Amino acid sequence: MNIGFLSTRLAGVDGVSLETAKLRQVFEEMGHSCFYCAGELDQDGPPGQLVPEMHFTHPTAKALHDEAFANPHPSPDLFKRIYAEADKIRADLEAFIEEHNIDLIVPQNANAIPMNLSLGVAITDLVRRTRIKTLCHHHDFYWERPRFINNGIQDILDDAFPPALDPIRHMVISTPMQKRLRTWRGLRAFYLPNVFDFENPPAPPDAYAMSFRQELGLSADDLIVLQPTRVIRRKVIEKAIELVRKLNDPRLILLITGYEGDEPGGYGVWLREEAERAGIRYRFIADYVGAERGISDGHRVYTLWDIYPHAHLVTYPSDYEGFGNALIETLYFRKPVVVHTYPVYLADIKPCGVQAVEYHYDLTSEVIAAVRRLIDDAALRHQMTDHNFEVAAQHFSFAVLRKVLATALDSFDDNTF
């Protein structure tokens, strides 16, 4: 079977792109061929089609988005422009499907969060017209984000985010999402958590990965506190800054890996000001992190997988996550973690038996004491991280992914969903 993945962006190290790559790997192991169609693609990615209008930063997409969610009573012209752009995108999708003889499309978050309204409408219209098999993989629903609540396009959201059409199967990344989708929209969905290939643990760092500290001017004695996320407000990175300040340990340096381009405003600038006021050692290292190794502006670029082995401790202070890809990645690399008890962590991760230093909003003296013990007690770190690896291998592995995808594909044939 030929499978086509559709999204605003299938490139880089954002969660949707990373999870898509895992689905592609398993689909290909199952004997299927995979193709990408998105507004941004990696140069070394699978065969596919680049459609710039599908990206959420495309000027047309951004203008339609901004108008739709800034005015509760938009002009009729907005709807005309949304649907006119959707017609153009649908034509590109039809060409992609025809060129690669696609049997199944897998929209990745494109019908869940309305970053590109016309793309979601285009996919819905395509399915309605062609009845092509469709597995919508949802990572974030619009009703989980306050900025989408005030809008004048609720009928479009009801129709396309997500669509309720018979050829479509839905797949979500958490059980709270699964329950809300069934309760609010009457739609059933498969549950697929974020996963990693725990059957194949990460290899020891090679010479390139081992050059990371020297490239950044860090010594072997520096203890890296790693914040491996994008720089957006819901990651609450100021709590990582507060943690390092309260630990007051000169060996610690906070490394923030993510880029700042996915959210308007000056959050990154404010974080730098907060770090300066806190008087901690810190670095924003997005320029040193990429989807693949290379050279940029005269220095080396590393993958996150090159960087994890150097971390002494990982911080995960988000107040909201669709699931927690970077958290599962932390367990994969056997690193101890300090985590804010966000809802999906409490629903789907903690109950599996994951061990972490947890806090709920406040970094209390008890939390700081627990982190200090974790920093200085190697035996405690090893016990915790080995335990977490075994737990995650059972609940968040590729074996889980294979089972869910096989069940989803079977549902198209036996109509059991």
**pLDDT of res. 2:** 98
Is the per-residue pLDDT at 110 higher than 80?
yes
Q: Does residue 351 belong to any structural domain of this protein?
A: yes
Identity at 181, one-letter amino acid code: L
**pLDDT of res. 259:** 84
Q: Do 154 and 215 belong to one domain?
A: no
The pLDDT tens digits of the residues spanning 326-359 come to 999 999 999 999 999 999 999 999 999 999 999 9
Q: Do 24 and 114 belong to one domain?
A: yes
| Residue 103 pLDDT class (50, 70, 90 cuts) | very high
Q: Do 183 and 263 belong to one domain?
A: no
Percent of the chain residues topping a pLDDT of 90: 88
* Dihedral over Cα of 20, 22, 28, 30: its sign: negative
According to DSSP, the residues that pair with 381 across neighbouring strands are none
CA nearest to 222, candidates 202, 252, 177: 252
Q: Do 299 and 407 belong to one domain?
A: no
Q: Does residue 201 belong to any structural domain of this protein?
A: no
According to DSSP, the residues that pair with 36 across neighbouring strands are 5, 48
Q: Do 44 and 146 belong to one domain?
A: yes
Is the per-residue pLDDT at 149 higher than 80?
yes
How many structural domains does the chain have?
A: 2
Q: Do 329 and 404 belong to one domain?
A: no
| Alpha carbons 114 and 119: distance in angstroms, whole number | 9
| Alpha carbons 359 and 203: distance in angstroms, whole number | 32
Is 11 in contact with 42 (CB distance < 8 Å)? yes
Give, for 311, the enclosing helix (H) or strand (E): strand 311-316
Q: Do 235 and 365 belong to one domain?
A: yes
Q: Do 121 and 177 belong to one domain?
A: yes
**pLDDT of res. 304:** 94
Q: Does residue 185 belong to any structural domain of this protein?
A: yes
Q: Which of 10-24, 72-86, 358-372 has the lowest mean pLDDT?
A: 10-24
**Could you count the other beta carbons within 10 Å of the beta carbon of residue 6?**
33
| Alpha carbons 127 and 132: distance in angstroms, whole number | 6
Can you state the angle between helices 267-278 and 238-247, rounded to 10 degrees? 10
CATH code of the domain containing 279: 3.40.50.2000
Q: Does residue 200 belong to any structural domain of this protein?
A: no
Q: Does residue 162 belong to any structural domain of this protein?
A: yes
Q: Do 174 and 238 belong to one domain?
A: no
Average pLDDT of the chain is: 95
Sorted by sequence, the CB contacts under 8 Å of residue 314 that are 6+ apart come out as: 225, 226, 227, 228, 326, 330, 335, 336, 337, 338
| Residue 300 pLDDT class (50, 70, 90 cuts) | very high
**pLDDT of res. 224:** 98
Average pLDDT over residues 190-199: 95
**pLDDT of res. 265:** 80
Q: Do 190 and 251 belong to one domain?
A: no
| Alpha carbons 361 and 209: distance in angstroms, whole number | 34
As a dihedral over the C-alpha atoms of residue 341, residue 346, residue 352, residue 354, rounded to 10 degrees, the angle is 0
Q: Do 157 and 230 belong to one domain?
A: no
| Alpha carbons 348 and 172: distance in angstroms, whole number | 12
| Residue 45 pLDDT class (50, 70, 90 cuts) | confident
**pLDDT of res. 416:** 60
Q: Does residue 359 belong to any structural domain of this protein?
A: yes
Q: Do 378 and 251 belong to one domain?
A: yes
The pLDDT tens digits of the residues spanning 367-416 come to 999 999 999 999 999 999 999 999 999 999 999 999 999 999 999 987 66
Average pLDDT over residues 95-102: 98
Which domain, by its residues, includes 55? 2-195+398-414
The pLDDT tens digits of the residues spanning 206-263 come to 999 999 999 999 999 999 999 999 999 999 999 999 999 999 999 999 999 988 876 7
**pLDDT of res. 263:** 72
Is the per-residue pLDDT at 319 higher than 70?
yes
Q: Does residue 57 belong to any structural domain of this protein?
A: yes
- Give backbone dihedrals phi and psi of 117, rounded to 5 degrees, phi first: -60, -45
Average pLDDT over residues 136-160: 92
Token pair of 127, please?
């399915």
Q: Does residue 297 belong to any structural domain of this protein?
A: yes
Q: What is the largest CA-CA distance in the chain?
A: 65
Is the per-residue pLDDT at 65 higher than 90?
yes
Is the per-residue pLDDT at 417 higher than 90?
no
**pLDDT of res. 275:** 98
The pLDDT tens digits of the residues spanning 115-124 come to 999 999 999 9
| Residue 292 pLDDT class (50, 70, 90 cuts) | confident
